[in-house]
Copies of this chain bind each other. A is one copy, B any other.
Amino acid sequence: MTVRPENEHQARLLALLRDDGPRSRAELGDLVHMSRSKVAVELDRLTELGLIENAGLAASRGGRRSGIVCLATSLRFVGIDIGATSLGVAVTDGELRVLGHVSEPCDVRQGPEVVLGLALSLIDGLRDRGLMPAVHGVGLGMPGPVSFREGVPVVPPIMPGWDRYPVREVLGRELGCPVQVDNDVNIMAVGEQHAGSARSVDDFLFVKIGTGIGCGIVVDGGVYRGASGSAGDIGHIRVAESGPTCACGNVGCLEAFFGGTALVRDATAAARSGASAQLAARLVEAGELRVADIAAAASAGDVAAIRLVRTGGRRVGQVLATLVSFFNPGLIVLGGSVSGLLGHALLAEIRSVVYRQSLPLATGNLPIVLSELHDTAGIIGATRFISDHVFSAP
């Protein structure tokens, strides 16, 4: 049974110690606007609960030296990042510093038993390395719509066999601790907010371009999920009347035109049709193309590869231009594996369309940047997400 704070004051003190590290009792009192004696009561209680520890004495501020406290060094959070073709697991301490991070190729279509089984064995591996005396909470992101309240995926298009599988319940039972489950894009947005480019931004969009395309929406510092939890599912916005069929069964979805799957499909066609000698050579050599091959071809000046990146960036940019006029975010962060591989070539195209097509008032002060967290946004977001839950008052 994971111990949790008993009231709002304790919850605020824990969040402060998580985000800013060890602090003296006097400083904490100032930060939460509580008297020294009242803070002392709450800190003593958190010590009794085993959530914080003493960590020496602060320099004198003119009187008696104040004791420094920190989060209990035994606290551990686990983040699980389920991708379409990979699985990442990390363990952090209470301050969300990553102590160990492993990831393996894993096809999500193998279904929940196989994928969650692998996640549990990766957690066991981290435990065997002595990194995890106990687990205090697990956060998990998965690539599909999730009922946040129930902790289950809901009709996820690229995850056959997962519909309404009780992910939260199963993991909670196996690990004996609180588990929270959300869409991977929301989780990555939380990661960007905690440790990435969005640290001080309250209203921003995190756009993930990986195998598919999705968007995490942060409003007033919190993830906005929408009336039925599908907010941000921009990969299935209709951008054309006709076109390739999408994994969701419809025609004309943004994701059917761009994203990892579409890019590999179009690059393979370019290789086969003779439009790109470089991609054709790579296809013969490797038997298949990956997004990394297209990124390499584009940076080497391959015209067909460059055209694919530009056309895709323009399509994404057109959708984002509409969303910027509507939502007037303070920042857009581009993440996901495809954004990471294509980098500035993709960013430049998206920026140019958004800055040209959105309202001047909305783009006047709108940075559009690449994620700096790369493949750790999901892991960091997942542990932040569960720590918010564990550190919340009942």
Give the B-binding residues of A (Cβ under 8 A). 145, 154-155, 203, 215, 217, 219-220, 224-234, 236-238, 318-319, 321-323, 325-331, 357, 359, 361-362, 364-366
Told that A230-B325, A233-B362 touch, could you supply 5 new A-B pairs with CB distance under 8 A?
Answer: A226-B327, A228-B361, A228-B364, A233-B326, A233-B361
Query: Is there an interface contact between A227 and B330, defined as CB atoms closer than 8 Å?
Result: yes
Most buried by B among A145, A219, A230: A230
Query: Is there an interface contact between B155 and A321, defined as CB atoms closer than 8 Å?
Result: no
Closest residue of chain B to A362 (Cβ to Cβ) is B230
Query: Is there an interface contact between A322 and B325, defined as CB atoms closer than 8 Å?
Result: no
Instruction: Report the 4 A-B pairs with minimum CB-CB distance, sorted nearest first.
Output: A226-B328, A227-B330, A231-B328, A230-B361
* A26 CB to nearest chain B CB (Å): 29
* A232 CB to nearest chain B CB (Å): 7
* A128 CB to nearest chain B CB (Å): 40
Main secondary structure of the interface of A (DSSP, over half): loop
Query: Is there an interface contact between A322 and B231, defined as CB atoms closer than 8 Å?
Result: no
Kindly identify which residue among B155, B236, B321, B362 contacts A226, using a CB–CB cutoff of 8 Å.
B362
Could you say which residues of chain B place their CB within 8 Å of the CB of A203?
226-227
Q: With A203-B226, A219-B219, A359-B230 known to touch, is A326 a contact of B365 (CB < 8 Å)?
A: no
* A182 CB to nearest chain B CB (Å): 14
Query: Is there an interface contact between A227 and B326, defined as CB atoms closer than 8 Å?
Result: no
Query: Is there an interface contact between B325 and A236, defined as CB atoms closer than 8 Å?
Result: yes
Could you say which residues of chain B place their CB within 8 Å of the CB of A155?
361
* A320 CB to nearest chain B CB (Å): 10
Could you say which residues of chain B place their CB within 8 Å of the CB of A330?
227
Query: Is there an interface contact between B319 and A227, defined as CB atoms closer than 8 Å?
Result: no
Bound state CA distance, A95 and B325, in angstroms?
36
Could you say which residues of chain B place their CB within 8 Å of the CB of A362?
226-228, 230-231, 233
Kindly identify which residue among B226, B237, B328, B359 contacts A322, using a CB–CB cutoff of 8 Å.
B237
The contact sample of 20 A-B pairs, CB cut-off 8 A, is A203-B227, A217-B327, A219-B224, A225-B328, A226-B329, A226-B362, A227-B328, A227-B362, A228-B362, A228-B364, A228-B365, A229-B361, A231-B326, A231-B362, A233-B325, A233-B326, A237-B321, A237-B325, A238-B318, A327-B327
* A245 CB to nearest chain B CB (Å): 16
* A257 CB to nearest chain B CB (Å): 14
Q: With A219-B224, A224-B219, A226-B203 known to touch, is A232 a contact of B364 (CB < 8 Å)?
A: no
Could you say which residues of chain B place their CB within 8 Å of the CB of A219?
219-220, 224
Could you say which residues of chain B place their CB within 8 Å of the CB of A224?
219
Bound state CA distance, A318 and B228, in angstroms?
21
Could you say which residues of chain B place their CB within 8 Å of the CB of A321?
237-238
Could you say which residues of chain B place their CB within 8 Å of the CB of A231?
326-328, 362
Closest residue of chain B to A225 (Cβ to Cβ) is B328
